[in-house]
Structure 1
């Protein structure tokens, strides 16, 4: 199949792009123009969504946010914006599949989500030494250092709340109740509302909401090095759009999925 190799070296990147987008300076310039857009999406989304405290839902519709919202291209999909900058279908795939990280189709995901491409390319992909499990080990060690205690292999039956709806502790599977000043729940939101907290109309409504898809990971060990593979490898389906339609519209496994190695 076709192969595209990304590089931080602009001269190498241009040669890779030209295989699909045609020769000439215009190819690299269009790519750089493409990168400018998600850069704006990244900055504006960060400032609007992460660094702004919305006390009420209507705070979002403050007139001062209008210039920012207009620059986010909320009326377009990730794929639609990519079509503006790339001529070849292959490059459009290569720079839109990242919506899969969020469990969305690039044909449905709103344009601001192309900030994923920007952060991946501009800031790189970072991995902790020792793997992600090392992060958990370090957090555990740090917590124990400051007096925290861990109760492993204990089922949580419910989060105990008082008459005012304030969480006061947890009830374990064996019936024991652990009281606390603060309860932090890291379970899936819909699961927590419907299985750990008292039943409410909101919890029932939440269970009917349209949710993003999760991934299916496989952890395989290899007996030998595969020289054809780099550290990060994306295999894109020839039936790219059809594969997303099967997942998000037909709710079935695609005949030819895209996948990451």
Structure 2
């Protein structure tokens, strides 16, 4: 099956998404389909969530994060005070996170760092200075929000990456920007619908072939350090001009590639926590629970 962590579970007539429940940064998805000469809207029906989250605080108070700025600002005033500085500080926060978003997408997401010196290129210095890499996400939030409630509400998003807001780099508040400005979406039919569409395009338009249930034992490396194919666990060897590996970094370096000092170093790293997922089917609508809830 396709999808990996974004695959499906079918059980007793119910379908569960195993992977993400947040479709963020829609422009990035649109661009990937455009690379294939396709319009994503011809393949996927996207539904915008009416509200991003309901945040439930420890004392029973709640806060709704939404793309409706007028509604969001009214909710902010309950915690930050009904004065001009509340809105000014919020818009300053939004502007900063917008800069983090735009520059991170351009310099990090869309740049291929082939060598270490590409990363330390002098032309990146102005961008790095504006990403506030010397601050944490929580530190940046403290500059714009005075209540602990709002500091929590606008920093918990680092958990998507297994990070603490007290440790995550300040630039990661770009997540809050894309949620507020672009919204959270849901592909009708589940997130796996995106991957099904990509697979169909690859097969029907470009003649690609997908081989499932073929566990890879190792990536074959030639004497020059170049990947030249893969060896399957059944002993078969598949030679190729290009090998793309999207397995976890630590696993790939220690299980699929030849052992190196770097692989040993990675294996000793302290990894961030994963998650425990519960898949529940309900026979009724529970009005107290929103689409996304954070406790």
Common fold: TM-score over 0.5: yes
Q: TM-score, normalised by structure 1?
A: 0.82
Match for residue 105 of structure 1 among 160, 164, 175: 164
* Corresponding residue SS for 1:168: strand
Counterpart in 2 of 1:116?
175
Counterpart in 2 of 1:87?
146
Summarize the Cα distance change of 1:59–1:184 in structure 2 as closer, same or farther, 3 Å threshold. Answer: closer
Deviation of residue 43 (structure 1)?
A: 2.2
Q: How many residues align?
A: 235
Unaligned 5+ runs, structure 2: 1-59
Unaligned 5+ runs, structure 1: 236-261
| Residue 217 (structure 2) pairs with residue 157 (structure 1) | yes
Deviation of residue 25 (structure 1)?
A: 2.8
| Residue 200 (structure 2) pairs with residue 141 (structure 1) | yes
Measure the CA separation in 1 of the matches of 2:163 and 2:235.
40
Deviation of residue 53 (structure 1)?
A: 5.1
Deviation of residue 54 (structure 1)?
A: 4.5
Counterpart in 1 of 2:269?
209
Higher relative contact order (CA 8 A, sep 6+): 2
Single out whichever of 134-143 and 83-92 deviates more from structure 2: 134-143
Counterpart in 1 of 2:98?
39
Measure the CA separation in 2 of the matches of 1:138 and 1:102.
26
Deviation of residue 208 (structure 1)?
A: 2.4
How well do the aligned residues superpose, as a CA RMSD in angstroms?
2.0
Single out whichever of 59-68 and 190-199 deviates more from structure 2: 59-68
Match for residue 49 of structure 1 among 100, 104, 108: 108
| Residue 229 (structure 2) pairs with residue 178 (structure 1) | no
Deviation of residue 21 (structure 1)?
A: 1.2
